[in-house]
Structure formats: C-alpha cells, structure tokens
Structure 1
Amino acid sequence: MSALDDQTILRETATRVLDAHGLVLEDVEIRRSSGMPQVRLVVDLPEDQLGSADLDAVADASRALSEAVDADDAVLGSAPVLLEVTTPGVDRALTERRHFRRSRGRLLALDTVDGTRYRARLLAVHGEDLHLRQEPGRDDRGRPLKLPQGTPERPVIPIAEVTTARVEVEFDPPADLAQLLADAETTAADHPAAQKES
C-alpha cells in the first residue's frame, strides 16, 4: 500500500505541523490523473475560534508542510506529488458540529428534515442544538422583510434535523455581534435541552 493510499502518516504529520500554526486539518483530498498526483489539504481554525483562517498562517503552514514532506518519503512517498493547502471557502456545506461551532455569528441558509427553510444567524451551538436568530433579509426595494405570523424569532434546532446548511456572504454584520453571541451563550446554557445534559 502506497503512502497516498494509507494517509495515516500524512494526517499525523499535517496535524502536528498545522497545530504549530494554530490550524486544524479539516480534510484530505487526493486526485490522481495521468500526470502528477495532487494532494489537497483543507485546513481551518480550531472549532473554538470564530472567523476565517489567516492567509499568512496558511502560507506559513504550507511551507512547513512542504518541508516535512520533502524530508520524509514516508509522508507521501518518493514520487513527485503536487501539495496544495487551502481553506474550505464560504460555499462549504456545514455538516459536522465543529463546522457549526466555527460558524457562530455567521448568517446561514439552512433547511431541515420537515422542509422548513431558515435564513438565520447562528448565535450558539450548545450540545447538539443550534440557537438561531432569524433574519429574513430585505425585499428588492430594500425594505426589511417580516417573519410569517407565528414563526419563532429565535428557534432552537437539533443539528440532526438539518439537511443542508451554508454560510451566506455578508458585507455588513450587526455592530453588536459580540454582545449577541455572549448573550446567546448564556441563554443557550439555560435552555431546557442544555439542562437535560448537565
């Protein structure tokens, strides 16, 4: 079995190098074509941090990973390989709890198993629940849209009920976002689902 087939050493090496740069390994993608194999490492911030990975940190980690691969044939084998280090990008589907934790404060478009569609800001992830604040957006004239009658402004949705979720690109997040997140953490801890866990 080649080093590209068994990714154990690659993952261990990447995890060690990325940790030194404040990053985590999100995924490994290997593409084999008629030419040189391509290994793409998708990296991100640890789940307890908000925002996006700093491009300078990603570039530094990429150089360190290249040096580690060059120094040890056990990582990717002795044949030439094109190594790429990248971040997930905003169009990544949110599928894991850690993806949602990193997206706290972001505006999401998500669908649930019962067919409900939400455009909402993710304020907290507590246990396996997403604490949201619905933000319906604006119409084509720029007027704020209203939530349908009887729709909760701050729904709590189990991650297991989410069928699709993506971050929406946003140019003007709320000025009081830090306070919203802090308040939501307190509220989430007092939520009945959270009390059952403790």
Structure 2
Amino acid sequence: MSRALLIVDVQNDFTEGGALAVTGGDAVAAAVTTFLAAHASDYAVIIASRDWHDAQGDNGGHFAGTPDFVDSWPVHCVAGTEGADYDPLLVTDAVTHHVRKGQGKPAYSMFEGETEAGETVGALLTAAGVLSADVVGIATDHCVRASALDAIAHGVHVRILTDLVAGVAPEPSEAALAELVHAGAELVESTDA
C-alpha cells in the first residue's frame, strides 16, 4: 500500500508578511521541512501545490478590488512573483511533483492543478498505487480542506497532520476539520504519523 504526502500551498503570500498572510504559516513551513527530513522515505509520492494565478485579469472572479474573502480575494500568488514562491523555510528537495493551480480561474484544491508536464494529482496518486495520504499545509479552512476532500473523493484514506497545518481563523478551521472527520479523514499529530 503506497502512501503520499500532500503539501498544500506553503507559499510566501500565505505566510507572515504575504498578501493573504496566515498566522503560523512560517512555523508550518519550518515544521514540514523538519518532518520531511525524518519521514520523506515513508512516502511513495510527495506532491506540493502552489496557487499560480495569472497576472492579467481577475482570474475568473477570484481577484477583486473589494473582496468578500469567501469567493473573491485580494491579488495573491501571481505566477512568477515572490508571493507565489514556496516559503523559504520549506525545503522542497524531497518533493517528487510540483503542482500549480488557479491559472485564470479560482482553484482551492490541489486536485484542480497540474504539473508542468500536465499530470493531475489524481493521476499521480493512481499511477503510484496510493491508498493513503497525509495532508499538511495552508490554509486549513480553505485549500487544505478542499484538497483533503478531493483526496477522499478519489478513494484515498486521508490523515490531516494537525500540527502541520495553519488556518485563517480558528472557528472556520475547526469547522473544516470536523467536516473532514465526518467525510472519513483522521486527525493525527505528525509525531504519531
């Protein structure tokens, strides 16, 4: 039974000082790096995603001058900018596949993205025979939630490593974790992974 590690959107614009900074984002980046140093060999596939929005246009309504922070957001993670880069505290040497999502359209789940070679996350997991995946990253209440739900829908047993995620706000993050448990995910600490 193959396992995957899914690293969701650990990017400069989602960590401290970024356009949509999430408190604790830098700590997640550093902790994921520490986790990878000890556990990368436990995974057949390690996939990291990044928002990678077009510089021109509103990306299908995703960018707005007056965002509602539900369906529209301030400009963030524009392709090729520092904000779209991985947080420097995240060492990606062990990552086997890099996925970009959100070109010209809203995209929350890493399953909506693809590699430079055009591979989707679902296809990568199927090709590797992945039956279980650990999910980490930013933000618990948005892209981590969407990616984990899509992994479950793909037939993968999901564990959220709760000490390796950070959310925008406590209440929606708790609601997202409860929703994921209801959908079949497990919540575990990385020390128990």
**After TM superposition, is the score higher than 0.5?**
no
Larger Rg: 1
TM-score by length of 2: 0.23
TM-score by length of 1: 0.23
Which protein has greater RCO, CA pairs closer than 8 Å, 6+ apart?
A: 2
